[in-house]
Copies of this chain bind each other. A is one copy, B any other.
Amino acid sequence: MMSVVLVEPEKAGNIGAVARAMKNFDFKDLILINPKADHLSKESMDRASHAKDVLKKAKKADISYLEGFDHIIGTTSKLGSDYNMPRVPITPKQLAEKLSETGKKSRIALLFGRECTGLTNEEIKRCDFIVSIPSSKRYPAMNLSHSVAILLYEIYSAQGKNKIGDIAAPITDIEKKQILKMVDDILDSMEFGTKEKKETQRILWKRMIGKSFMTRREAFALMGFLKKIK
User: Which residues of A are interface residues toward B (Cβ below 8 A)?
Assistant: 13, 17, 20-21, 23-26, 47, 49-51, 79-82, 85, 88-91, 93-94, 98, 101, 132-136, 138-143, 145-146, 149-150, 153, 156-157, 161-165, 167-168, 211, 213, 215, 217-218, 221
Q: A24-B135, A49-B141 are in contact. List 4 more A-B contacts (CB 8 A).
A: A21-B143, A79-B164, A88-B215, A134-B153
- Cα separation A141 to B20 with both chains bound (whole Å): 9
- 7 CB < 8 A contacts A-B: A24-B141, A24-B142, A94-B213, A101-B211, A132-B168, A134-B156, A146-B146
Whether the pair B25, A136 counts as a contact (CB closer than 8 A) is yes
Whether the pair B168, A89 counts as a contact (CB closer than 8 A) is yes
Q: How many chain copies does the complex carry?
A: 2
| Known A-B contacts A136-B24, A163-B134; A17 and B90 likewise in contact (beta carbons under 8 Å) | no
Whether the pair B157, A79 counts as a contact (CB closer than 8 A) is no
Whether the pair A156, B143 counts as a contact (CB closer than 8 A) is no
Q: Which residues of B contact A164 (CB under 8 A)?
A: 79, 89, 91, 132, 134
Whether the pair A217, B88 counts as a contact (CB closer than 8 A) is yes
Q: Which residues of B contact A162 (CB under 8 A)?
A: 91, 134
Whether the pair A23, B80 counts as a contact (CB closer than 8 A) is no
Q: Which residues of B contact A134 (CB under 8 A)?
A: 153, 156-157, 161-164
Whether the pair A85, B163 counts as a contact (CB closer than 8 A) is no
Nearest neighbor of A132 in chain B, beta-carbon distance: B164
Nearest neighbor of A21 in chain B, beta-carbon distance: B146
Q: Which residues of B contact A218 (CB under 8 A)?
A: 85, 88
- Cα separation A80 to B88 with both chains bound (whole Å): 43
- Cα separation A188 to B111 with both chains bound (whole Å): 41
Nearest neighbor of A150 in chain B, beta-carbon distance: B153
Contact partner of A146 (CB less than 8 A), chosen from B145, B165, B217, is B145
Whether the pair A88, B167 counts as a contact (CB closer than 8 A) is yes
